[in-house]
Amino acid sequence: MWTDRGAKESERSVSQSPVMNERDERLGTLIEAVRQHPAGSLSWRKAMNQLLMEIQQLPGLARSAHPDYLEALDDTLLKLGDEIHEFEPRQPSLEKSLVAWINLKLRLKYQVRDLHSSQQTRAKNPKSSQEEFQEQVRKPPLSLDVPLGDGASETFGDRLAASVPCTLFEIEAQTKREQEEGKNRRIGVQLKQYIEKDPEGKLQRCHPQSHPECNCQILSQRLLLKYPPDQLAVVARDLNINYNTLNWHWKNKGLPLLQAIARTLGYQQNREDL
């Protein structure tokens, strides 16, 4: 169980690592932010989203060109949300500790290996559709009333929560939502990289007249990528610009530009977000 004492000890182990580069500090801040908020809360989701975007860019993370890799990665990241409170750095570098924990403890490395093993097995021993059908027919049917183990009274049916989708339409809707969430996480990572590099210079060219230092790249970094984000009033004071001028520019020029860039990366806005 995660206790206050355990949280403080882990917090110290994260923040007091002997070697702390910029990425280590960023990861430490995000991990602590996730642990400080109740799981599932708005603040928790914001911090977790930032952490997941940062994690997907870490060098050393197990990767693969296999078509099912993104599904394996999404499964691992979902598991990370449930188990991040158990993470403790084992190496001087927080980044390397986190990568090793994800690859080994959360088994991303083994999932990647299994993807290629199953692909090689199918290539060596291809089965016809008739053989696969016959194999499935020979398997005993799943019973919801059979106890889960010897001496156990609980059945598989007992473990089916009321919130679990029970119709094909509900299952299809949930699957679609999960796929969309995974897609949006990947687009978020791409958008973050775009903001940091500004490859076409669009963000730097978008600024209030006579205030090039208030360009959209700087504003995006401080208002969106930084955690916790800066307040617009603080940015206006730091950059010596009228707050109302900056506020109008950000809402009417900066955000629409970022939305247009996100759409080019594949993001589709939900109707309720409009």
Q: Per residue in 133-143, pLDDT tens?
A: 566 555 555 55
Residue with the larger pLDDT of the pair 235 and 71: 235
pLDDT of residue 238 exceeding 90, the answer is yes
pLDDT tens for each residue of 85-95: 899 998 889 99
**Whose structure tokens read 């609980």?**
154
pLDDT tens for each residue of 47-86: 888 898 899 889 999 998 888 888 888 888 888 988 998 9
Please, which pLDDT band fits residue 16 given cuts at 50, 70 and 90? Answer: very low
pTM of the shown model:
0.50
Q: Looking at beta carbons, which pairs linking 86-93 to residues 24 or more positions away fall under 8 Å?
A: 86/2, 87/10, 87/31, 88/10, 88/13, 89/13, 89/14, 89/17, 92/17, 92/18, 92/19, 93/17, 93/19, 93/21, 93/24
Phi, psi angle pair for 147, to nearest 5°: -55, 150
